[in-house]
Amino acid sequence: MKKAKMVISRDFQIAEIDRRIYGNFVEHLGRCVYGGIYQPNHASADEFGFRKDVIKLVKELQIPIIRYPGGNFVSNYYWEDGVGPVSERPKRLDLAWRTTETNEIGTDEFVKWCRLVNAEPMIAVNLGTRGISDARNLIEYCNHKSGSRFSDMRIKNGVKEPHNVKVWCLGNEMDGPWQIGHKTANEYGRLASETAKAMRQVDPTIELVACGSSGTFMSTFPSWEAEILDLTYDQVDYVSLHTYYGNRENNSQNFLASSEDMDNYIKTVSSVCDYIKAKKRSKKTLMLSFDEWNVWYHSNKSDDDKMKNKPWQIAPSLLEDNYTFEDALVVGLMLMTLLKHSNRVRMACMAQLVNVIAPIMTEEDGKVWRQTIFFPFQHVSKYGRGIALTPVLTSTKHDTKDFSDVNDVQSIAVWNSEHSQLVIFAVNRDQNDIIPLTCDVRDFKDYRFIEHIELKHEDLQMCNNANNENVAPKTVPLGELSNGVLKVNLKPTSWNVIRLKK
């Protein structure tokens, strides 16, 4: 019989979860910016041209930090093009996605929009076609109060107070041959180190992220991390991780196990960081920024055709995956993996926020709507605040094409001591059987069972659309909590949020 058992104790602490683990990503790509967050001719647009219907759904996700402006886009981005009077801003050819960038939205507008959705900006600098001086100039523009060339330029552009951007990415995926300005590890490490020094001269309070590998598929992984960190370790605070998963082989069992790869990826990069720490005899423990992650595969073929045959369009529809119910389960599993490593993963960004491989979709002249993947992200962002507890979990297991000893049930708990709340997130990966989950919660003897939220659909390939929210969470009858033992039944292939409160 398939079953799962879990022991939950406030003594089994992983870490206090950094709220920035629930970050997201906005890139000048497809309809993410134009037609996504910004559409001045839309009925819901505010005085700045931002769609208020999009802002409403973004606020539902409670996103604390948003990465910008890329992504591959940043490696040929001239930030000066996106500031000053909009009528005077030049159009540029975006070499990353072979589109035309109008620069109607730039740094000042993006920071303004971040404040509207209660998020902090995370800005990437161009280390592909540009370098030290341009990054230094941008941080002066954003963070220096006044009395210098670029701070006074910001004031002239109508922004009196500094933006005070505290998190900066030193380029993007510089190990990738697809990247404009692709570099070797030595070339990138030297440039990133010197750029970091110059930026910290302007503002010593910033946090900096070095580019790790673009994924475990890279032939240079993880030697890239070792070489670039040998050069940048003393200058940076984080190294980045990127990964995407997809069910290209139509093997749902294997796809639902893909978070096992994410788990191994985090362990490997952490080990490399600790190796460099030991090599340098450093007291600093480098943290991880998982600043691109999601499911991405549905739109690949159509995007290849569009970019080859119709280049230089303005904000064409690109990377617009229509997500299935099983995609939502994988997103939930990836979120739990991030929580499991919250002692090292201090920031993370789902890629991306609107229209482009996104939880939120818009119609050009119509509605905004929630994709299936919106809901697990919303649940974990809302209820996953507090201390992540080590999942002492035993579960029946199975093997898949690429993974062995995969738990039928994956679960983790978060304890919020301030609000006296314990939340258990759980996925039943089995496609056929209800699996009973038994949790020893005797360490929370004064807590009562208050809610069980479930995301479930009989069709793993079911999607949402602008007119029908076919896949949506619902509250289900509570399980049993008696003498410190919690018992719930997890339906086949289901996402579950189980809440206890004192």
According to the model, what pLDDT value does residue 308 have? 72
Q: List Cα–Cα distances, 348 to 58, 64, 77, 327, in angstroms.
A: 16, 10, 23, 18
Active site residues: 173, 292
**pTM score, two decimals?**
0.97
Domain extent listing, the chain? 4-9+388-501, 18-383
Mean residue pLDDT across the chain: 97
According to the model, what pLDDT value does residue 293 have? 98
According to the model, what pLDDT value does residue 310 have? 87
Q: List Cα–Cα distances, 468 to 176, 257, 328, 462, 473, in angstroms.
A: 39, 29, 16, 11, 14
Q: 377 by DSSP, 3-state: which?
A: helix
Chosen CATH of 18-383 out of 3.40.1080.20, 3.20.20.80, 3.40.190.10, 1.10.287.90? 3.20.20.80
Q: 60 by DSSP, 3-state: which?
A: helix
Q: 416 by DSSP, 3-state: which?
A: strand
pLDDT tens per residue across span 35-59: 999 999 999 999 999 999 999 999 9
Give the separation between CA 82 and CA 261, rounded to whole angstroms.
Answer: 38
DSSP letters along 168-226, please? Answer: EEE-S-TT-TTSTT---HHHHHHHHHHHHHHHHHH-TT-EEEE---S-TTSTTTTHHHH
CATH code of the region 4-9+388-501: 2.60.40.1180
Q: Which residues of the chain have pLDDT under 50?
A: none
